[in-house]
Amino acid sequence: MMRPIRMAALLLAAVFLTSALAQTNLTFWSWRTEDVAAYEKFIAEFHAQNPDINVTFTPYLNTEYNTIVSTALQGGGGPDIVHLRAYGGMEPLAQAGLLVRLDDKVPALGDFDPGILLGATNRADGGVYGVPFALQTVQVLYNVDMFESLGLSVPTTWAEFLAVGDALKASGVYALANGAKEPWTLETLFGGVAPTFYGCTPFFQEITTGKTNFLDARFTGALQRMLDLRPYMADNYMGVAYTDMQTLFAFGQAGMLVGGSYELGNMKSLNPDLRVGAFAVPGDAAADASCVSYYVDGSYGINAASSHQAEALKFIQFLASKQYGQMFTDELQQISAVPGTTPTSEALGNIVDLMNAKGTPFLLLTAFRFGQPSGSTLLQNEMQAAMAGDKTVEDVAANIQRGVAEWFEAFQ
């Protein structure tokens, strides 16, 4: 006869085995290496509501992620949950049948703004293949305490903007933390500086319908304004990388940074005491329209090859919920794409107000990443050469026009 203690041990082992067998383990890949702690909190909340589903978040280097995830999915592998790039970064995966169409599976998507859903829409079939996770804007971020101590006001003209830069330099700091070592940071600089000078949304509508092109003097003039800011950057700006930019601004070595709204969360982590303000780059006259670029930062999708479709969909539905959207906003100090969320910090609230009043679609990112060569890649590399003094803005514009015309029908 089996002893009671042994029987109890066997029963307990059976319970643990049954529990283990009932668990589903999902994998979630991303490029958000800086947000690991936040995603662990989000996942913990989901697990508390769904104790039978475990999610493992694995971030990869931003510059390597696209290749890693594309190769894995095309090989029939990869994660269950895929952090997807927006616009043209998502489309090839959807068109290859590697992602699950979600607009008929996630009811909450029906409440999202149609313009936001475009960042996760496959143009070939009109289907939505991801849940948009954030909106980002690009503007001038400034050190509020530094401005106050120097008696500086938010500029209302380009001349005033440069005068603020001169005052910051005279105080012993760099005016701008921006650098040019990594090409992608120059597209960010473009998103903050150029729209005011090429003409904001009216120009966006003209160029995306083929009524004008990148050779337009408004576009080359906007590129020149970027070059005009070189004297306000660090002396070795060509060697200043993205993390250097963050450090310079976070710790008071530069008074301004032309950067994304996502920097609010980064700055909070680096220097919780830093007070950050924001404004749009002003035009030549105070009455001129000024604007800030906005875009969908990406979305969450499901790998079509995942063997855990039901569980993955449950996690995706959580990521589309208002509860998650508010957690995302609160934890990361970013603008959630989920409708109905509310900024809880003054700094983020100001940026949302700025976006609502002066927002314009981020030109190259939202409209010219759907073919090869990508308009974004062309701009980034060409402007890096221009920042180094190796090309003129006319060279840059001609090369962007030539490359995009290879696939953009309105230019053909």
Shared-domain flag, residues 230 and 274: yes
**pLDDT tens per residue across span 82-103:** 999 999 889 999 999 999 999 9
Q: Is 60 among the domain residues? A: yes
Total domain count, the chain = 2
Q: Binning pLDDT at 50, 70 and 90, where does residue 63 land?
A: confident
pTM, entire model: 0.88
Q: Is 272 among the domain residues? A: yes
Q: Is the pLDDT of residue 37 over 60?
A: yes
Q: Is the pLDDT of residue 20 over 90?
A: no
Share of the chain above pLDDT 70, in %: 95
Tell me, what's the pLDDT at 1? Answer: 47
Shared-domain flag, residues 328 and 274: no
Backbone angles phi, psi at 303, to 5 degrees: -65, 125
The whole-angstrom separation of Cα 65 and Cα 323 is 28
Mean pLDDT, residues 280-299 taken together: 97
Q: Is the pLDDT of residue 5 over 60?
A: no
Mean pLDDT, residues 314-323 taken together: 98
Tell me, what's the pLDDT at 12? Answer: 57
Shared-domain flag, residues 315 and 355: no
Q: Is the pLDDT of residue 32 over 90?
A: yes
Q: Is the pLDDT of residue 240 over 80?
A: yes
Q: Binning pLDDT at 50, 70 and 90, where does residue 409 land?
A: very high
CA angle, corner 41, sides to 37 and 42, nearest 5?
115
Q: Is 323 among the domain residues? A: yes
Shared-domain flag, residues 58 and 148: no
Q: Is the pLDDT of residue 2 over 50?
A: no
**pLDDT tens per residue across span 195-230:** 999 999 999 999 999 999 999 999 999 999 999 999
Mean pLDDT, residues 67-72 taken together: 96
Mean pLDDT, residues 237-266 taken together: 97
**pLDDT tens per residue across span 135-182:** 999 999 999 999 999 999 999 999 999 999 999 999 999 999 999 999
Shared-domain flag, residues 283 and 329: no
- Could you tell me the residue range of the domain that residue 217 belongs to? 136-295+351-411
